[in-house]
Amino acid sequence: MGRRVGILTGGGDAPGLNAVIRAFVKRGAGQLGWDVVGIEDSFDGLMDRPRRVHHLTPVSCQGLLHRGGTILGTTNRGDPFAFPSADGPRDRRRDLVEGVKAEGLEGLVVIGGDGSQAIGLRVMEELGIPVIGVPKTIDNDLSATDLTFGFQSAVDVATDALDRLHTTAESHDRVMFLEVMGRDAGHIALHAGLAGGADVILLPEIPYDPHEVAEKVRRRKARGRPFSLIVVAEGALPAREDGSAVPHDQVKPRLKRGGGAAAIAMAQLEGLVDAEMRHTVLGHIQRGGSPVPFDRILATRFGVAAVDLVAEDRWGEMVRLQNGKVGGVPIREAIATYRLVDVHGEMMRTARAVGVEFGERG
Amino acid sequence: MGRRVGILTGGGDAPGLNAVIRAFVKRGAGQLGWDVVGIEDSFDGLMDRPRRVHHLTPVSCQGLLHRGGTILGTTNRGDPFAFPSADGPRDRRRDLVEGVKAEGLEGLVVIGGDGSQAIGLRVMEELGIPVIGVPKTIDNDLSATDLTFGFQSAVDVATDALDRLHTTAESHDRVMFLEVMGRDAGHIALHAGLAGGADVILLPEIPYDPHEVAEKVRRRKARGRPFSLIVVAEGALPAREDGSAVPHDQVKPRLKRGGGAAAIAMAQLEGLVDAEMRHTVLGHIQRGGSPVPFDRILATRFGVAAVDLVAEDRWGEMVRLQNGKVGGVPIREAIATYRLVDVHGEMMRTARAVGVEFGERG
Amino acid sequence: MGRRVGILTGGGDAPGLNAVIRAFVKRGAGQLGWDVVGIEDSFDGLMDRPRRVHHLTPVSCQGLLHRGGTILGTTNRGDPFAFPSADGPRDRRRDLVEGVKAEGLEGLVVIGGDGSQAIGLRVMEELGIPVIGVPKTIDNDLSATDLTFGFQSAVDVATDALDRLHTTAESHDRVMFLEVMGRDAGHIALHAGLAGGADVILLPEIPYDPHEVAEKVRRRKARGRPFSLIVVAEGALPAREDGSAVPHDQVKPRLKRGGGAAAIAMAQLEGLVDAEMRHTVLGHIQRGGSPVPFDRILATRFGVAAVDLVAEDRWGEMVRLQNGKVGGVPIREAIATYRLVDVHGEMMRTARAVGVEFGERG
Amino acid sequence: MGRRVGILTGGGDAPGLNAVIRAFVKRGAGQLGWDVVGIEDSFDGLMDRPRRVHHLTPVSCQGLLHRGGTILGTTNRGDPFAFPSADGPRDRRRDLVEGVKAEGLEGLVVIGGDGSQAIGLRVMEELGIPVIGVPKTIDNDLSATDLTFGFQSAVDVATDALDRLHTTAESHDRVMFLEVMGRDAGHIALHAGLAGGADVILLPEIPYDPHEVAEKVRRRKARGRPFSLIVVAEGALPAREDGSAVPHDQVKPRLKRGGGAAAIAMAQLEGLVDAEMRHTVLGHIQRGGSPVPFDRILATRFGVAAVDLVAEDRWGEMVRLQNGKVGGVPIREAIATYRLVDVHGEMMRTARAVGVEFGERG
């Protein structure tokens, strides 16, 4: 009763953000009678004058469950400790403290990735503004939580693209490269590749040998399958002699037409395989649109759990899912680790067992 | 090497069956060199003469990953201990033993629900035919495994239907009832209801009081929301004075137009609420079609795990997922328990926290 | 300039209504500067006091293009000449005239089916209120226009259901009946059946002989296809000896479990074919949800064309599509005729050419 | 009776090719008893030795209706008059004539775009092999037919991508560029842009002025819509002073990261608008996957109509749709003209009426 809490979304958007906001408001404002204040564009809405904040009620959250994006807006540029400006990073801590005070907020709920959570932690520890975190990473690379919303939606978009490329690859006997999100961790590539029947998956975790990839393509052709589907995570790179990844800036110049990881991979294969090749970059399509039911439910659970953490004054904690149960973990602990694909784990074993290859050097 | 194993699907079909078969064949036949024999229509294909069996190879499994149904066919009538016939149940144990012998099978992989697994166990214990189980229940009601493939696909179909009913309900100020699968356990209803923004969810686990449902509809109307979405599990029934469910045969006569759980629920509300009402029964649409990526992956993991169990001669075990890991559990143990919706669990708490009601008596 | 026009939606909702409203407002209000007044629930919003009307602007129409239903609400009970009430139909013409006057409306744009268009015509001719019509029939049965929005979206939903039923029918060797919309005209059944690979399509236009249907099912089984998909339009009925349709009330009592056209058809086949049979009724799912791109475009064209008709003072006309061009036709002419499936037309010939049957008596 | 006809698919694949093949076989082989011979990879399968041809029957066409791609395979390199080889184009006319003779084919059904149709015509006129054409262009740019299958499927994929980009653009206040197919004609861009609510559509038919595009983006921002969606056809290019398009090779060097039309357009806007910008290239995803119901029906009609043309010995004609009716047109006439977007037509007027702009110079 009488609580007044701010809520904001930071970093790249992910399907399910609105479902978190809706759940938080339905439970916090609708059932517990709190004042919930939506802050625009990460921390920005609190630092500007006039402030861009909105009183959120269950009525203002109608229809949000299946809507992509975030009604609060988001940005990667909302760091009050180092706010980007023409003259370099600017210190806007005072603006933030004043904003929180002027709005009478008891604390902030920060829905965001590891970057936003790290800022949230500093906001709490250095500025004394209580913060609760809700994890958001479409890449599912936060090890503190078993799953994050948005990931399954991204996998679905990527799998649908693979299903489509499959028929056209087969019709034309082509090698098709599909680049999906995943700069550091290849979870989306691995899951979508497995679900979409990819022949090769290139991951940031495994620098690949183009000759191994070419060999796989040739073996398929020899078996009467003259087409191949290759999923490439954004962060996948070819290997050097010692097995480490070729630095990105050394690969780029070798490309004819520039581009990202899929273009690089395709360029590496030219000359090694005798087949038409094409590449596609899914890009932001993976982020947008209505969340799949799985993510709507997970996001709703996270939103309700955030209310629980606030109600129990567990400031400094972040919502997380662990072994099927939603609970809290100290933000400090949550942002300390990162989950890469376990290259010896069961998912990888499964992939290999159905014939997927990863371009590993023999 | 030299192993020869039969594989069959029993009971109602579920999206992902073909993905299990494909993974089993790719790993077992393609990589390990086993003979894999596909048996048509549950145990039937082995009992008939001529037998309906097929040699399965990676080539015969091309394109199966995203295909719904089961290429092996399935039936609910394949029990060799009590085979349905015009003259009553018939003992066909000898036919089965002969079939297995004639095909030279070392053992059978039974992909099926608790009914098929129980038959599989008897086949192993009473007839001496080694069996490995792979769980299949679209209702996700086997407590031995945290998840089964097909469930998420069914939830997706039901959620899509709710999304569609939402707009037409709102346009017409109607109360819409959607009946989804779930005779004994209401998992699909709960998940789809949560993902689709249902106002009321009626579960087999909670006999409902029509007056409570009507009250919810009225409260919404009073708040300017003159429409409601009500998800009804097949097995949901109204409560008697003592809180127990009204037996099904006592409810039916009160219906004007007959029908299942949704029609019953709608009939119960007539006279109690002043609104147009409509009901829809999703039926077999929930079972069919391409599995969602989540189920394709889970099914693939199960298929590979079944190969592992066979390779390790762990006959008598069933594949299962527990705390994120795929492994085995004795079939006997697996079929002994059943998972209902935990009416005091976190999913129910989450649903209530966003305003979903269940028709519980105050 | 200075024009002030009301817009309303009547009858059952259809995907695309919001896209018409959006286009009308963007063009009329946004570009031409008109006052556009949205009226709630068909003519009702004008007859009540306080009136339920809303000033519509491009801002209030943001996000409407892909949203199902109608933001204005709709009803089948808005006839001012015979308004349904507890004491029988009531004359509310005066209320309507006063409402139009009080709102200062120059005329009304009526988006609706033949029922709503007929009321609109009376409103114009008897009450002197100028009216422009926009056709809306999900069944595509208005002969004055080649196509109406919503139809293709309904066909897509029905086809998706058929695709799903296909895999489960094939796995279980079942005969599956799918009931789709179409009381008088079978266009949805014919198109969805053709797109979804139905074996039999039962249309309101052709009373069917159950023996012919059974014969088709048997012939498929004999050719090794022991399953069948049968699409049933709501208005399809079995034939009598003389070839005419059995009256609906004479068929119903023969049903075990009651129900509509699909249940009737299934009951007719019992005893005639040796196969498990199941039926599904799609119902309101066909009306709801986001319109397919085809319908969004058509609805947008209709909305813009309605502005053109108003701008040219062509009151009394209805928008229509003819030979690829959008234009106007007198409402009186438009509602005089009705388009049934041409049972000798090219679409039917095409269906027969790929083996679809219609249960016609030899 | 006793007819023996070859069928092949040439050029880029399009959703619906398999549905044409299925319909042709069901009608021709299944009902009329013809021998239908499927030829692999355009004309290639006839020229090679051993020939790659298959006897097609209704059984071999099961499940094809909703399957993307073409089971016959296709290629852009199958011209017998100028067959691509390492030593330059090779004359393989004799191989083709011998192939047709050896297979005993009365004639060929060529499903393909204007390139394939032109080859087909030469094959008929110069080599004396009778040919019937079935038009295939995903771009819908053949003026001889009102519509071609595959187009609507491509529009649906592009519109879905726009829907997804919409939410992420809005959340981040970004300007999003989506590149869709259309080298010479912008039909896909226009339709998808209209259906997906694009703010600007850049067409091959209208060289665009970046300042006009920037002005539109700025005006939106001033009205409180700080994001924009821009659809770019592959062939869209900026205008020179005189209004003509800048030649492609003069634009490319100005790009930082290389790329196609969307990257060019984005580069043109840099410095002109103050907003984050991103671009996505849909590529081959537009070609693949299951055809939408609309295309399945159209393809089926075309396949049946091709049988009619053969049956009536109307060799030298191509199937086409005109004013809602399927019929034939001489191939020579069909390939003589090309349909660009009519920049003064009703679709363009409609687009402008809802606020879409095309970057036209004032």
Residue-wise pLDDT tens digits, A21-52: 999 999 999 999 999 999 999 999 999 888 99
Using CB atoms, list chains with 3+ pairs below 8 Å to chain A. B, D
Chains with 3 or more CB pairs closer than 8 angstroms to D? Answer: A, C
**Rg for chain A (alpha carbons), in Å?**
22
How much of chain B exceeds pLDDT 70, in percent? 96
Chains C, D: CB contacts under 8 A, how many? 109
CB B178 within 8 A of CB B230: yes
- Residue B240's pLDDT band (cuts 50, 70, 90): confident
Cβ within 8 Å, pair D354-C22:
yes
pLDDT in tens, A282-301: 999 999 999 999 999 999 99
Query: pLDDT band for position A252 (50/70/90)?
Result: low
Give the integer Cα–Cα distance in Å for B141 and B125: 25
Do A300 and B194 count as a contact with CB atoms less than 8 A apart? yes
Reduce the secondary structure of chain D to three states and give it as a string.
Answer: CCCEEEEEECCCCCCCHHHHHHHHHHHHHHHCCCEEEEECCCCHHHHCCCCCEEEECCHHHCCCCCCCCCCCCCCCCCCCCCECCCCCCECCHHHHHHHHHHHCCCEEEEEECHHHHHHHHHHHHHHCCCEEEEECCCCCCECCCCCCCCHHHHHHHHHHHHHHHHHHHHHHCEEEEEEECCCCCCHHHHHHHHHCCCCEEECCCCCECHHHHHHHHHHHHHCCCCCEEEEEECCCCEECCCCCECCHHHHHHHCCCCCCHHHHHHHHHECCECCEEEEEECHHHHCCCCCCHHHHHHHHHHHHHHHHHHHCCCCCEEEEEECCEEEEEEHHHHCCCECCCCCCCHHHHHHHHCCCECCCCC
A163/B66 touch (CB, cutoff 8 Å), yes or no: yes
Whole-number Å distance between alpha carbons of B166 and A65: 12
Question: Looking at the partner chain, which of C73, C171, C278 has a beta carbon nearest the beta carbon of B69?
Answer: C171
Are D164 and A69 inside 8 Å of each other by CB?
no
Interface test with C, best of D21, D350, D352, D356 (most C CBs within 10 A): D350
Q: Where are the alpha helices (DSSP H) in chain B?
A: 17-25, 44-47, 93-103, 114-127, 151-172, 187-195, 210-222, 248-251, 261-269, 293-311, 331-334, 346-353
Which position among A41, A114, A139, A295 bears the catalytic label? Answer: A139
Substitution target in C187, C350, C356 with the highest count of D β-carbons within 10 Å is: C350
* Nearest residue in chain D measured CA to CA from A278: D284
β-partners of residue A321 are A326
Whether the CB of B278 is below 8 Å from some CB of chain C: the reply is yes
Q: Is D296 in contact with C66 (Cβ distance < 8 A)?
A: no
**Cβ separation of C171 and B74 shorter than 8 Å?**
yes
Q: How far is B171 from chain C (nearest CA, A)?
A: 4
- C26 in contact with D, Cβ within 8 Å: yes
**B209 included as an active-site residue:** no
A242 touches chain B (CB under 8 A): no
Find the mean pLDDT for residues A242-248: 77
Using alpha carbons, select from B287, B192, B179, B182 the residue that is nearest to residue B232: B179
77-136 in chain A: CB under 8 A from chain B: none
Per annotation, catalytic residue among C13, C139, C141, C199:
C139
How is domain B153-287+343-353 classified at the CATH fold level?
A: Rossmann fold (3.40.50)
Nearest-CB residue to D195 (from C26, C27, C297)? C297
Single out the catalytic residue among D13, D35, D44, D139: D139
Interchain proximity C297–D194, CB inside 8 Å: yes
Please choose, from the candidates A57, A26, A299, the residue with its C-alpha nearest in 3D space to the C-alpha of residue B356: A26
Per-residue model confidence (pLDDT) at position A78: 79
- The two three-digit tokens of residue D76, written as one number: 């852009």
* C-alpha distance from residue A89 to each of A42, A75, A77, A99 (Å): 17, 16, 10, 20
Partner D contacted by A287 (CB < 8 A):
yes
| C68/chain B closest Cα distance in angstroms | 6
CATH of span C152-287+343-353: 3.40.50.460
Q: Which residue of D has its CA nearest to C192?
A: D293
From the list D161, D280, D289, the residue facing A163 with the nearest CB is D289
Domains A4-149+291-322 and A151-287+343-353 share a fold: yes
The CATH number of the structural domain formed by A151-287+343-353 is 3.40.50.460
Nearest chain D residue to C158, by CA = D293
- Residue B248 is predicted with a pLDDT of 65
Residues of C in contact with B171 (CB under 8 A): 9, 13, 17, 69-70, 73-74
Query: What was the pLDDT predicted at B51?
Result: 92
B293 with A349: Cβ contact below 8 A: no
Mind listing the pLDDT tens digit for each residue in A125-174? 999 999 999 999 999 999 899 999 999 999 999 999 999 999 999 999 99
How close, in Å, is residue C170 to chain B by CA atoms?
Answer: 7
CB pairs under 8 A between A and B: 109
CATH of domain A4-149+291-322: 3.40.50.450
Q: Which of C147, C164, C171, C297 best tests the D interface by mutation, with the highest count of D CBs <10 A? A: C297
Cβ-Cβ contacts under 8 Å, D197 against chain C: 65-66
Q: What is the pLDDT of residue C47?
A: 94
For C170: left if phi > 0, alpha if psi spans -120 to 50, otherwise beta; the answer is: alpha
At residue A258 the predicted structure's pLDDT band, cuts being 50, 70 and 90, is very low
Would an 8 Å CB–CB cutoff place A327 in contact with chain D?
Answer: no
Residue spans of the domains in chain A: they are: 4-149+291-322, 151-287+343-353
C293-311 and D346-353 helices, crossing angle to 10°: 80
Q: What confidence score (pLDDT) does residue B306 get?
A: 98
Judged by CB atoms closer than 8 Å, whether chains meet at B354 and A324 is answered as no
**Percent of chain A whose predicted confidence (pLDDT) is above 90:** 87
Tell if the CB–CB gap between B66 and A146 is shorter than 8 Å.
Answer: no
Interface check for A258 against chain D (CB to CB < 8 A): the answer is yes
Gap from B12 CA to chain C (nearest CA, Å): 8
Low-confidence stretches of chain D (pLDDT < 50) are 253-258
The pairs formed by D43-46 with CB atoms below 8 angstroms and a separation of 24 or more are: D43/D8, D43/D10, D43/D78, D43/D79, D43/D80, D43/D96, D43/D119, D43/D123, D44/D75, D44/D77, D44/D78, D45/D8, D45/D72, D45/D73, D45/D99, D46/D6, D46/D8, D46/D95, D46/D96, D46/D99, D46/D100, D46/D103
- Judged by a CB distance cut-off of 8 A, whether residue D170 touches chain A is yes
Query: Does A160 reach chain D within 8 Å, measured CB to CB?
Result: yes
A278 in contact with D at a CB cutoff of 8 Å?
yes
Instruction: Please give the pLDDT value at position D174.
Output: 96
**Distance, in angstroms, between C347 CA and closest chain B CA?**
27
By the 8 A CB rule, do C64 and C19 touch? yes
The alpha carbons of chain B give a radius of gyration, in whole angstroms, of: 22
The tokens 């693949």 sit on which residue? D288
Percent of chain B with pLDDT over 90: 87
Per-residue CA distances from B306 to A347, A352, B211, B233, B329 (Å)? 15, 15, 49, 32, 12
All residues of chain B having their beta carbon less than 8 Å from the beta carbon of residue C17 are 171
Residue B258 has pLDDT above 50, yes or no: no
From residue C5, give the alpha-carbon distance in Å to each of B59, C39, C310, C327, C358.
Answer: 65, 10, 9, 20, 47
pLDDT mean over A265-289: 93
Residue contact B159–A294, C-beta within 8 A: no
Q: What are phi and psi of B276, to 5 degrees?
A: -65, 140
What average pLDDT does this structure show over B213-242? 94
Check CB contact under 8 Å for B304 and A152: no
pLDDT at C257: 40
pLDDT in the model for residue B253: 47
Between CA D201 and CA D352 the distance in angstroms is 10
Q: Is B191 on the interface with A (CB under 8 A)?
A: yes
Chain B residue closest to A301 (CA)?
Answer: B350
- With CB atoms and an 8 Å threshold, state whether D289 touches A67: no
pLDDT tens for chain C, 362 residues long, are: 579 999 999 999 999 999 999 999 999 999 999 999 999 999 999 998 889 999 999 999 999 999 999 999 999 887 999 988 888 899 999 999 999 999 999 999 999 999 999 999 999 999 999 999 999 999 999 989 999 999 999 999 999 999 999 999 999 999 999 999 999 999 999 999 999 999 999 999 999 999 999 999 999 999 999 999 999 999 999 998 887 887 766 665 444 444 589 999 999 999 999 999 999 999 999 999 999 999 999 999 999 999 999 999 999 999 999 999 999 999 999 998 889 999 999 999 999 999 999 999 87
Indicate whether A259 pLDDT > 90: no
Which residue of chain A is at minimal alpha-carbon distance from B154?
A293
* Alpha-carbon gap, residue B185 to B205, rounded angstroms: 7
Q: Which residues of B167-196 are buried (b: 16+ CB within 10 A; e: fewer)?
A: bbbbbbbbbbbbbbbbeebbbbbbbbbbbb
Residues of A in contact with B159 (CB under 8 A): 293, 296
**Whole-number Cα distances in Å, D291 to B50, D66, D138:** 39, 6, 11
ipTM of this predicted structure: 0.95
CA distances to C180, C236, D40, D157 from C278, rounded to whole Å, are 15, 17, 40, 33
B277 touches chain A (CB under 8 A): no
